[in-house]
Amino acid sequence: MLIAITREISPSINQCELTFHEREPINYERACEQHKQYVNALRSLRLQVQVLPADPDLPDSVFVEDTALVLDECAIITRPGADSRKPETESITNVLEQYRKLFFVQPPARVDGGDILRVDKKIYVGLSTRSDNNAIEQMQNYLRPFGYEIEGVTVTGCLHLKSAVTQVAEDTLLINPEWADKNYFDGMKFVEIDPSEPYAANALLIGDTIIYPTAFPKTQKRLEAAGVKIVNVDADELAKAEGAVTCCSLIFKS
Ligand code: CIR
């Protein structure tokens, strides 16, 4: 059984952090509708979804992915790179301690879950504006006993590693090669995004199916040609907050 932790959208979402996007008004009602669609997509893939209540004081708290890395053996509570987001870890700690032994990234290290891409026992960590080598060292120390290997990946032009590359099948990554170098990912096959859709590399893989935004039809054709099964969701409102599909959940085995 897979569990997904999600969180309702904060009514202060319009005060979200922005790094690469110009601020545009986010329609809160529409964003909430789309978030419901996302939760329903998770349920349609038979996940047990736990929806945490919104927090008006934490504009970006819908993006729960950034607060933790959950593995079968343990979980690591991150220390998000943006100061406004650091308090988000408290409520997630309270939830995850019911399921896993927890480790905590200690200051001054910083890492966002959006920078963490796990492929089996290999964990890639984006060296973005949000995440640093100190966090990589701490994570390596926590996870070495469980057989994980961690590697830093240079990320350019986007917020997180998973804006640039995500897994879409056991042996396949969806990648924007302008933002992350394929050479880091030895032994993997690739589907490249259509160059006219630079934000198309974020897909959420569950079993053999991805949850994927409707906004990237050209890249979707490439994914279909590669045999990837897709459940579509509309996600363009939260995209204005630089969020995508992986960032709205933490998924793990119960
Ligand atoms: C931020 O800048 O932190 C948020 N506005 C967006 C975070 C998106 N998170 C993710 O892709 N993992």
Does 68 contact ligand 1 (Cβ within 6 A)? no
CATH number at residue 194: 3.75.10.10
Tell me whether residue 160 is one of the annotated catalytic residues: yes
Residue 127 has phi, psi (to 5 degrees) of -95, 85
Closest to 165 in 3D by CA, of 136, 198, 135, 209: 198
pLDDT tier at 84 (50, 70, 90 boundaries)?
A: very high
pLDDT tier at 167 (50, 70, 90 boundaries)?
A: very high
Of 63, 89, 211, the residue with max ligand 1 atoms within 8 A of its CB, to mutate for a pocket test, comes to 63
Strands 209-213 and 229-233: parallel
For residue range 8-36, list pLDDT tens digits in order.
999 999 999 999 999 999 999 999 999 99
For the question of whether the overall pTM of this predicted structure is more than 0.75, the answer is yes
- What sign does the dihedral 75-36-18-217 (CA atoms) show? positive
pLDDT tier at 71 (50, 70, 90 boundaries)?
A: very high
Does 84 contact ligand 1 (Cβ within 6 A)? no
% the chain with pLDDT above 70: 100
E runs forming strands in the chain:
2-7, 48-52, 68-70, 75-77, 102-104, 116-119, 122-127, 149-154, 165-169, 172-175, 189-192, 204-206, 209-213, 229-233, 250-253
For residue range 135-150, list pLDDT tens digits in order.
999 999 999 999 999 9
% the chain with pLDDT above 90: 100
Q: What is the pLDDT, as a whole number, of residue 210?
A: 98
Q: Residue 52: give the domain boundaries.
A: 2-253
Q: What is the pLDDT, as a whole number, of residue 206?
A: 98
Q: What is the pLDDT, as a whole number, of residue 164?
A: 98
- CA dist., res. 76 & res. 69, Å (int): 5
Mean pLDDT (the chain, rounded): 98
Task: State the amino acid at position 11 in one-letter form.
Answer: P
- Domain count for the chain: 1
Does 7 contact ligand 1 (Cβ within 6 A)? no
Tell me whether residue 21 is one of the annotated catalytic residues: no
